[in-house]
Structure 1
């Protein structure tokens, strides 16, 4: 309890105990805030990784489609050029 003052001792003791309680719970609250902030940051990192993976798959699918279209067009172009050469009598 605090030293005797002009204020009622019960009031002084109540305020002192409240201050001690705040100081006692501060480390636990600080650690809770740290854990919550860390969890939020990790969740954001996982979300960003998922979005990047989805975008990569979309790009890979577009590249595959264009590659297959190019392979099909090469055969058509070479066939057309050879047909023109044979039928046209030259290049």
Structure 2
């Protein structure tokens, strides 16, 4: 036991034992923390991949709806153009840019094929 001081000897012994146990486990705690950080980073990356895949599916549904509308408007050439241009790749940003360009090029009003 520690020498008698103004602090109770049992308290100093307890602090000494806690310091010894913390000092011995610091490497294990650091490794566990690094593993948790790595697991979190991987899970966030997977979550981002799933979110992007969901957005691509929503975009494909929108393109399908636009193509169906074009077919119902008696303009199959425009429907094929939408489908061909918009679904060239799975890159969401490029697909959005292509759709924006297609919508800007779209003639106003209903037009019959060949007009």
CA distance in 1, matches of 2:60, 2:24: 56
CA distance in 2, matches of 1:18, 1:62: 62
Q: TM-score, normalised by structure 1?
A: 0.62
Report Cα offsets for 1:41-87 as digits up to 9, x if no partner.
111111111011001100011112212332442257138x5xxxxxx
**Number of residue pairs matched by the alignment:** 75
Which one has a larger percent helix, Structure 1 or Structure 2? Answer: 1
Query: Which position in structure 2 is the counterpart of 1:86?
Result: none
| CA spacing shift, 1:74–1:14, aligned 2, 3 Å | closer
Q: Which runs of 5+ in 1 are unaligned?
A: 82-91
Which protein is bigger by CA-based radius of gyration?
1
Query: Which position in structure 2 is the counterpart of 1:41?
Result: 41
CA distance in 1, matches of 2:14, 2:113: 94
- SS at 1:77 equivalent: coil
CA distance in 1, matches of 2:19, 2:57: 57
Query: Which position in structure 1 is the counterpart of 2:56?
Result: 56
Q: Which runs of 5+ in 2 are unaligned?
A: 77-110
Q: Which protein has greater RCO, CA pairs closer than 8 Å, 6+ apart?
A: 2
Across the aligned residues of Structure 1 and Structure 2, the Cα RMSD in angstroms comes to 2.8
